[in-house]
Amino acid sequence: MGKNPYEIIRSNYPSYSRVFRKIADGILNHGDLSDDSFLQMNIREFAARIRVAESSIVRFCKQCGYSGFSELKLMLAKYGRRQSAIIFENMTAASSEENLRGIFSLAAETLQIARDQIDYSVLEQLTDAVCDAKRIVCCGVGMSSSIAISFAAHLQRIGIPATCQTDGELLQMAARSADPGTLFIGISKDGKNAPMVYAFEEAKARGAVTACLAGYQNTPLGRHCDIQVVHYCPPTVLMSCRIVQSTIIDCVYLNAAHRRQAQAEAAYLGNRKAISRLYV
């Protein structure tokens, strides 16, 4: 099944140029199935309506993953415009249990959209880098720090040497110790955190392999990364993208464990034995 163009556009909107935002606004404002005039327009008519060059619309369509305007319209007609639910709109007259069930439904919907949009070949590239690295540094600042900590812990559990850095100043020091055997993995929804960007620029300059998980394309952090996992971010108010990021790190570390199953099982059992004395 093809990717939902509405979700693609909303996810990437913050990274768009001024011209691309005009195109996106034109689609999101007029792309409803009920607006027959939009679906019947050719690229020349649409360009005239929003006052941009036809070549810009073609580039926009290709960045979304489509061959051109015709294919984009076909996918718009297939999916129809459906805004993602805003959590406060769903938590009104319903009972408390219904509200809580609705949150689970939103989480499930978020993962389904993320599953359909993710580029699995990039996840394979990240798994390759994880398996080949001599040392891995998982980086995350602020809200992303918990995901970075979890990623490093999962990798350690299966015997892959990984540490975590969540402090901006310590990130710079870690970057200065990078070498070609080091893999830096950054977790950042918008890819704009300055300490992360500076650290990855330094690590890449020293020969490290760099990768990131980000919610948008063409981020400042992504410009210094060899591997970019661009994932879906829910537009719903207060609905975090951490559930998507957590699932992505599960995909990577479980894929790595599958590739090196004997070592992973030995490491896991050894770690379980080492920590068993901590339980009473």
Q: How far apart are CA 120 and CA 117, in angstroms?
A: 9
Tokens of 70: 């015709």
- The answer, yes or no, to whether residue 86 has pLDDT greater than 50, is no
Q: How far apart are CA 161 and CA 34, in angstroms?
A: 55
- The answer, yes or no, to whether residue 277 has pLDDT greater than 60, is yes
Residue 279 zone, left/alpha/beta (φ > 0; ψ -120 to 50; rest): beta
**pLDDT value for 237:** 56
- The answer, yes or no, to whether residue 200 has pLDDT greater than 70, is yes
30-80: pLDDT as tens digits: 654 445 567 788 999 999 989 999 999 999 999 888 889 988 888 887 776
DSSP single-letter state for residue 212: E
What's the whole-model pTM score? 0.73
- Mean pLDDT, residues 182-198: 94
